Amino acid sequence: MFDGKIIRGYRHQPGFHCASSAIRNVLAFHGLKVSEPAVIGLGRGPGFSYHVTDQRPSRLVHMRNLNLEDNFFRTVGMKFRWRETDNAAEATAHAKTSVDRGLPILVQTDIIDLPYFNTDQHFPGHAVVICGYSDEKQEFYVSDTLHPEALAVAIPDMERARTSVFPPFALRNRSFVLEDLSGFHIDEAVARGAVRRWAGENLNGLPELPVAYGVRALEELIGDLSNWKEAADWQWSARFTYQIIERRGTGGAGFRTLYRQFLEEMEDVYPSLRDLRFSQDLAVIEGLYHDMASAFRRISEGEAPDFSPALPVLENILERETAFYRKVLRSL
């Protein structure tokens, strides 16, 4: 398909979310079979944060724990650390060296600089796997979850994509190469610990973040919702919120669908978890996130900035999620 060097044995497989499918594909390359919902679950992926920015959109929600990659690898007993540099040429050379060694490289990008997205909207943190390159054509070959086959990206475009700055991400040529598999393990204790910690983070927040997280961020959104109508870009902020929940790589319902599937997968393997009925509780919350997305989509299509229809849905999510996280912490 491509004229340059491709890592032998690497198989691109599409998925729902960029990081979780990229991690799944890298693990599969190394002979480790882990489902995408399990990557989301063990990575404590579903979260909630809220940002008021001076860019477009001016009101921004995020549904993903920004440390999903770190969380997953550490949870399953593997060493993880992003490699970062401000030198784009150095980052490019490192990626080529990794391909030369036969090792796929996980990188973070901003889709605005990836030509195949054809968008003028920033969306940083988008994970892809570099699996080949061509010096002659000056291009990388990447595995991107949203596409059925690997894609070619000009090296200058990739260098721009890897150095973008847009809240809450400041990309510094982040990359990770999986080499040491020795500590890998998943068992019931690992699954229970990941679920318990996920609930605690969403209930109590993440101290290392400069913004609220989980239910506290949801409270902030509820408190600020009446101000959305004053934003010049209120329609785009509403539309982008809908997209963030349902369409931009979350697998639906702000990652809650994939997390429910993870819980079902763990419940099938570990009967003691099945008795706790966590997946059934989350299925209700999952439905509410669909309702939230629909509310913001309808608001974005209106002629006047009326955000009141979203308020009862948000309040219901806050009540349900708070109770669910407390149940998890009591039960585990």
- In tens, the pLDDT along 74-100 reads 999 999 999 999 999 999 999 999 999
CB atoms within 10 A of CB 312: 11
What does residue 124 show for φ and ψ, rounded to 5 degrees?
A: -80, 160
Q: What is the pLDDT along the chain (332 residues), one digit of tens a residue?
A: 577 789 999 999 999 999 999 999 999 999 999 999 999 999 999 999 999 988 889 999 999 998 999 999 999 999 999 999 999 999 999 999 999 999 999 999 999 999 999 998 888 889 999 999 999 999 999 999 888 899 999 999 999 999 988 766 788 999 999 999 999 999 999 999 999 999 999 999 998 888 899 999 999 999 999 999 999 999 999 999 999 999 888 999 999 999 999 999 999 999 999 999 999 999 999 999 999 999 999 999 999 999 999 999 999 999 999 999 999 999 99
For 269-311, the pLDDT digits (tens) are 999 999 999 999 999 999 999 999 999 999 999 999 999 999 9
What is the spatial distance between Cα 71 and Cα 41, in angstroms, rounded to a whole number? 10
- Identify which of 17, 15, 23, 21 has the alpha carbon closest to the alpha carbon of residue 245: 17
User: What is d(CA 111, CA 125) in angstroms, rounded to the nearest whole number?
Assistant: 9
| 106 close to 176: Cβ distance less than 8 angstroms | yes
Full set of structural domains in the chain with CATH? 5-33+80-176 (3.90.70.10), 188-331 (no CATH)
Placement of tokens 């999903």 in the chain:
68
How many CB atoms sit inside 10 A of residue 135's CB? 10
What residues does 175 pair with on adjacent strands? 83, 107
pTM of this prediction exceeds 0.85: yes
Q: How far is CA 20 from CA 15, 17, 64, 157, 317, in A?
A: 8, 6, 11, 23, 25
Which candidate, 140, 139, 143, places its Cα nearest to that of 129?
143
> For residues 50 and 79, what is the distance between their CA atoms, to the nearest angstrom?
30
Provide the angle, in degrees to the nearest 10, between the axes of the packed helices 310-331 and 188-204: 140
Helix (H) or strand (E) holding 239: helix 234-246
Q: Under a CB-based contact definition with an 8 Å cutoff, are residues 259 and 285 in contact?
A: no
> Which residues face 152 on adjacent strands?
141
Using CB atoms within 10 A of its CB, is residue 55 exposed (0-12), middle (13-18) or buried (19+)? exposed
